[in-house]
Structure 1
Amino acid sequence: MTEVRADYDGAWKEGVEQYFEAFLAFFFPEIQAEIDWPRGYEFLDQELQQLMRESEVGKQFVDKLIKVWLNDGKETWLLVHLEIQSQVDPSFAKRMFCYHYRIFDRYNQEVVSLAILGDNQANWRSQEYSYERWGCRLSLQFPIVKLLDYEAHWLELEQSDSPFAVLVMAHLRTQATTQDLAGRLRWKLSLIKRMYELGYSRDKIFQLFRLLDRLMTLPPDLDLDFKAEFERFEAKQEMRYITSIERIGIAEGIQQSIAQVLETRFKDVSPELIEQLNKIYDNPRLKHLLEKAITTESIVEFQQEFSQENTEN
């Protein structure tokens, strides 16, 4: 059997970056409700990596550090430390504690640590690190979400319009089909067809297709079968959103070129701008933006023109 490696980390990382508010609304709605979203948020991933240089290499997890503001009217802010863990790790809780403390020590601000457990062991629910001796006690408890628990709520996932309902279903079916790649092909087709049936917008289908494609990896022969079957489906629906699928690869290449040009010319490019660019799959528009990135006088001018185009579109 051809060995394929599902990109759990890449799919979840990109999903959180593209849909951070939707991520919290789906998994941690009580937190989402207390954030001042119009004020914006900021990913601090580079800072996190600097703090964690000594971290072990090769573990399957995604680390995110996001600065958010609260909507209680106070001039306060906190840091959301997020870990997405896709395999059992006995040292996970200790690592969560170490990261939490180092972030607090670096910023001297409140830190909220959250974890998504995406492994396939139902009884592993690591959510506390503590020790105590001679009256001295230290403890960190953090909220977790166990993806396996959503198997019992599959019908609710199928009816949800959240991008993370799709991602959770794809994650679970990717795990379940490690030894059944033909079954994975069928599930991949089923999940993507479902987005059309629920009336997802063209852009949303594009964005989620990319995440599913990274997660539900197929060997070359089955990938060709998938593309042929999906093109037949789109032809019947008279909705050629993704066909030909290669257009997604072209769009991603242009997105990367725009980001590279901006970062080379202006250095300080906000993650939010890159996030917005990565949601565009209109190739003519992306080519126009690439031309602007090359010719514009400043990053501020590029952002102004980009915002104006977003309003017009």
Structure 2
Amino acid sequence: MTTDIAAIPDNYDTPWKEAIEHHFPEFMAFYFPKAHCQIDWQKGYIFLDQELQAVVQDAELGKRFVDKLVQVNRLSGQEDWIYIHLEVQGSAQAEFAERMFVYNYRIYDRYHRPVASMAVLADDTPSWKPQEFGYDVLDCQMGIRFPIAKLLDYADRAASLENDPNPFALVTLAHLQTRATRTDPQARFAAKWRLIQLLFRRGWARQSILDLLYVLDWMMKLPDYLSVQLWQNVANLAQEKKMAYVSSFERIAIEKGMQAGMQQGMQQGMQQGMRQGMQQGEALALQKLLTKRFGVIPSDTVGKITTASSKQLDAWLDLVLDAPSLSAVFDGPPPSTH
């Protein structure tokens, strides 16, 4: 079965919004550590999304993933509380810096409090790094300079991101790998599965893991047949880890598998649809692993894989990482019938 992943629209704005709202201090610590150190986090923070929309509703200057207005308290200074105006921008736009300027002064004009604007640039243009807007006319200077975090700057730091305990290290990896796998569903499946495994190793609280699990799922869309396999993997991993809240993952996995099975329109019922989807996912995953280890796979071997049972595929998957040759995978011990 083949599915064009390009036909599945990637969802960036919802996962970014959810991640920021659930982990705002971690967001600031990861992308804007200097600002993070100046905020009194013990006094909490308040999201003011409705207030922001009221301020900028007639000043739309280009599409963005997320815009946020947050009230925070500073550790020192004459003003105890200030506003943070935050943008997550998904594409390079000539008017972006101007929008940051307009939104900043409109917020200040409405509330007469200090406003710190900052931006996460989530686009695909390495050279695009707008940080200021302004003008100088008749000895009158007006403008803004704001800090940015460019996600593409993290593209060569995969290893450090995998080891970083901040949840936005995984969000950054997910965003970059979603962009990089637009046309390769198998590569996205492998990347998403690895990120979920990394998430489970973090040792975070139940709700934090669930929050990030949903973010990864929203962001890294998969064809239905791979989605079924992925969520079965998630349920199995939760069982293996003997997590106290394994039922939560089982419920999510079942819901995801059922949704994918319904979308596939299997005629023989939901259980058969899920089994077929998982088996197809296993077959494709095995082919990809074999290709990475041993190069191009002979056509007769591909045929053997596509017609194999789920039990046989599981046996081959167990052997593929350690086998010294392609033939050793298929000449290995047969799967147990018990």
Instruction: Give the TM interval when normalised to the shorter protein.
Output: 0.7 to 0.9
* Cross-structure match for 1:227: 231
* Cross-structure match for 1:97: 101
Against the structure 1 CA distance between its residues 13 and 100, is the aligned structure 2 distance closer, same or farther, given a 3 Å change threshold?
same
Against the structure 1 CA distance between its residues 188 and 51, is the aligned structure 2 distance closer, same or farther, given a 3 Å change threshold?
same
Deviations for 1:274-305, whole angstroms, at most 9, x for unmatched residues? xxxxxxxxxxxxxxxxxxxxxxxxxxxxxxxx
Could you tell me whether the CA contact under 8 Å between 2:69 and 2:84 is conserved in 1? yes
Taking structure 2 as the reference length, what is the TM-score of the superposition? 0.69
* Cross-structure match for 1:123: 127
2:36 is aligned with what amino acid? Answer: Q
* Cross-structure match for 1:135: 139
1:90 is aligned with what amino acid? Answer: A
User: What does 1:4-15 correspond to in 2, within 5 Å?
Assistant: 4-15=8-19
| 1:108 and 2:112 aligned | yes
Could you tell me whether the CA contact under 8 Å between 2:131 and 2:146 is conserved in 1? yes
* Cross-structure match for 1:272: none
Partner SS for 2:116: strand
Against the structure 1 CA distance between its residues 230 and 57, is the aligned structure 2 distance closer, same or farther, given a 3 Å change threshold?
farther
Could you tell me whether the CA contact under 8 Å between 2:121 and 2:149 is conserved in 1? yes
Partner SS for 1:106: helix
Deviation larger for 196-205 or 116-125 = 196-205
Partner SS for 2:156: helix
Could you tell me whether the CA contact under 8 Å between 1:170 and 1:215 is conserved in 2? yes
* Cross-structure match for 1:244: 251
| 1:181 and 2:181 aligned | no
Deviations for 1:171-199, whole angstroms, at most 9, x for unmatched residues? 00001011112211111100000122333
Deviations for 1:31-81, whole angstroms, at most 9, x for unmatched residues? 112111121211111010011112438713211001111112755221100
Against the structure 1 CA distance between its residues 244 and 58, is the aligned structure 2 distance closer, same or farther, given a 3 Å change threshold?
farther
Partner SS for 1:208: helix
* Cross-structure match for 2:30: 26
Q: Which has the larger radius of gyration?
A: 2
Deviations for 1:198-242, whole angstroms, at most 9, x for unmatched residues? 333333221110111111111222212222333333344444351
Against the structure 1 CA distance between its residues 85 and 248, is the aligned structure 2 distance closer, same or farther, given a 3 Å change threshold?
farther
Taking structure 1 as the reference length, what is the TM-score of the superposition? 0.74
Could you tell me whether the CA contact under 8 Å between 1:242 and 1:248 is conserved in 2? no
Count of matched residue positions in the alignment of Structure 1 and Structure 2: 249
CA distance in 2, matches of 1:118, 1:248: 30
* Cross-structure match for 1:37: 41
Deviation larger for 202-211 or 229-238 = 229-238
User: What does 1:194-205 correspond to in 2, within 5 Å?
Assistant: 194-205=198-209
Partner SS for 1:157: helix
* Cross-structure match for 1:302: none
* Cross-structure match for 2:53: 49
2:152 is aligned with what amino acid? Answer: L
User: What does 1:145-294 correspond to in 2, within 5 Å?
Assistant: 145-239=149-243, 240=246, 242-246=249-253
CA distance in 1, matches of 2:45, 2:239: 40
Could you tell me whether the CA contact under 8 Å between 1:189 and 1:226 is conserved in 2? yes
CA distance in 2, matches of 1:90, 1:55: 15
2:250 is aligned with what amino acid? Answer: T
Deviation larger for 155-164 or 194-203 = 194-203
1:201 is aligned with what amino acid? Answer: A
Could you tell me whether the CA contact under 8 Å between 1:206 and 1:248 is conserved in 2? no
Partner SS for 1:124: coil
CA distance in 2, matches of 1:56, 1:18: 26
CA distance in 2, matches of 1:162, 1:205: 12
Aligned CA-pair RMSD: 2.0
2:31 is aligned with what amino acid? Answer: F
1:244 is aligned with what amino acid? Answer: R
2:176 is aligned with what amino acid? Answer: L
**Which structure is higher in RCO with an 8 Å CA cutoff and minimum separation 6?**
1
Against the structure 1 CA distance between its residues 133 and 11, is the aligned structure 2 distance closer, same or farther, given a 3 Å change threshold?
same
Identity of aligned residues (%): 39
Against the structure 1 CA distance between its residues 104 and 57, is the aligned structure 2 distance closer, same or farther, given a 3 Å change threshold?
closer
* Cross-structure match for 1:87: 91
Could you tell me whether the CA contact under 8 Å between 2:61 and 2:99 is conserved in 1? no
2:249 is aligned with what amino acid? Answer: I
